[in-house]
Structure 1
Amino acid sequence: MRKPILIAATALIAATGFGSAASAQPMAYGHHNAGRPTPVRDANIRNDIWQLNRNIDRAVARRTISNREATGLRRESAQLQRLYTSYARNGLTRAETNTLRARVDRVQYALRAERNDRDRRRG
């Protein structure tokens, strides 16, 4: 009598244990989910936006860009942050991540251009 209960309990534990492990794994890695939101994408983009703001502040502190140039870049960065906040409410999909990535790249390119033009004027 004891043996069938033990087998049934083991089967139940195995079924629930493997089911939860399989459902938890896709959220851990961003590349396993085609369009579903993942914490990895959220953290990466959030970090990139934070780093962008930090780079703008650093360029102003080093006087490689003017305050006027920094104001325009900060405005673009703030718009990017608002877009991220809007998208991140339900987690970022791959399409949203690509949109944000393109915007981050665009602002980073503009920052690089402003640092290298040495005219201390926007544009």
Structure 2
Amino acid sequence: MKKLILAALIPATMGLAAPAFAQMPPPPPPGGWHHGPGDGGWMNPQRNDAIRRDIDGLSMAIDRSQQNRTISYREANGLRRDVYGIKRAYRIAARNGLSRQDVHDLARRVNVVRMKLHMERADWDRDRW
């Protein structure tokens, strides 16, 4: 009797579970999820634009500081070299879509140069290190 009841219940439960399986997201691909600029993942166009704005804003802050004579030409050139390195790293990382780690690394590098700019403005010696 138990076998008969179990045999009748198994197909019925499978029919109820099928819609739940249909709603589950697909498993991740073998290499993990790739969050490129066009797939609507973590890295979306707004974050990409924010990173570029930060880098461009840093360049403008260096130019403004040099024009206001709060840093010297030599200090500004050194900081511009640092910004160029960040722009180069951004271009290389953006080829395959920026990952979370790329974004954090670029933000860290921007903050380091921002801090260097702040220190150069505050030291008043107009000399690169």
Normalising by the residue count of structure 2, what TM-score does the alignment of the two structures yield?
A: 0.67
Equivalent position amino acid for 1:122 in 2? R
Cα distance between partner residues in 1 of 2:98 and 2:121: 31
Q: Give the match for residue 62 of structure 1.
A: 68
Give the one of 86, 107, 117 matched to 1:111: 117
Counterpart in the other structure of 2:81:
75
| SS across alignment from 1:72 | helix
Is 1:99 aligned to 2:108, yes or no?
no
Identity of aligned residues (%): 44
Residue equivalent to 1:86: 92
Query: How far 1:91 moved relative to its partner?
Result: 2.0
Q: CA deviation at 1:92?
A: 1.2
Provide Cα deviations, 1:49-76, integer angstroms capped at 9, x if missing partner: 0000000000000000000000100000
Alpha-carbon offset, residue 42 of structure 1: 1.1
- Residue 23 of structure 1 corresponds to none
Equivalent residue, structure 2, for 1:6: none
* Larger Rg computed on CA atoms: 2
Which residue does 1:50 correspond to in 2? 56
How many residues in Structure 1 have an aligned counterpart in Structure 2? 91
Match of 1:38 in 2: 44
Give the distance between the partners of 2:59 and 2:85, measured in 1 at CA.
Answer: 12
Cα RMSD for the two superposed structures: 1.3
State the alpha-carbon separation in 1 of the partners of residues 94 and 52 from structure 2.
10
Is the 1:77–1:107 contact (alpha carbons within 8 Å) kept by the matching residues of 2?
A: yes
Quote the offset at 1:44 in angstroms. 0.8
Which ranges of 4 or more aligned residues in structure 1 deviate by more than 2 Å?
none
> Structure 2 stretches of 5 or more lacking a match?
1-38
In the alignment, the residues of structure 2 paired with residue 90 and residue 96 of structure 1 have an alpha-carbon distance, to the nearest angstrom, of 11
The 1-side partners of 2:48 and 2:98 are apart by 6
